[in-house]
Amino acid sequence: MAEHIDLGAKGEELAIAHLREKGYEILKTNWHFGREEIDIIAQNDEYLIIVEVKTRQSNYFGEPEIAVNKKKQKALIRAAHAFVIQREIDKEVRFDIIAIVIGHQKTVIRHLERAFYPTL
């Protein structure tokens, strides 16, 4: 497997563990709607949570979350809408980013709740 795929898979494993530690229920991972993909779909008592995971080996070129640009946000919003409609979910949807830097000496996980909002 390519190194970046291994890194991404490791990041998603860490993100899932992080969410479970916070008491979230994981509903789906790597859920596809057409060409769109949601890394993690979770829920708690209050929200359906759409999570984009960004993993890097360093933050030399900036923090991982800056890769979630407007285009990626729109794709996540479209996919989340499809998931909600298909499953007839009646919860407020929240969009989070989990930014992970897996360094040689330590791993840093930052969970950005409400990282962005769907626009009308």
Mean of pLDDT values over 79-108: 95
* Range 83-90 contact pairs with CB under 8 angstroms and sequence separation of 24 or more: 83/28, 83/31, 83/33, 83/38, 83/41, 83/48, 83/50, 84/48, 89/48
**The pLDDT value given to residue 62:** 86
**The pLDDT value given to residue 60:** 79
CA atoms within 13 A on the CB side of 119: 6
Q: What is the pTM of this model?
A: 0.92
Mean of pLDDT values over 102-117: 94
The letter for the amino acid at 20 is R
Rounded Cα distance, 77 and 60, in Å: 29
pLDDT band at residue 4, thresholds of 50, 70 and 90?
A: low
Rounded Cα distance, 50 and 76, in Å: 8
Q: For the chain, where are the E strands, in sequence order?
A: 25-33, 36-43, 47-56, 92-102, 107-116
DSSP 3: H
pLDDT band at residue 17, thresholds of 50, 70 and 90?
A: very high
Q: Which domains does the chain have, with CATH numbers?
A: 3-116 (3.40.1350.10)
The letter for the amino acid at 43 is Q
**The pLDDT value given to residue 120:** 55
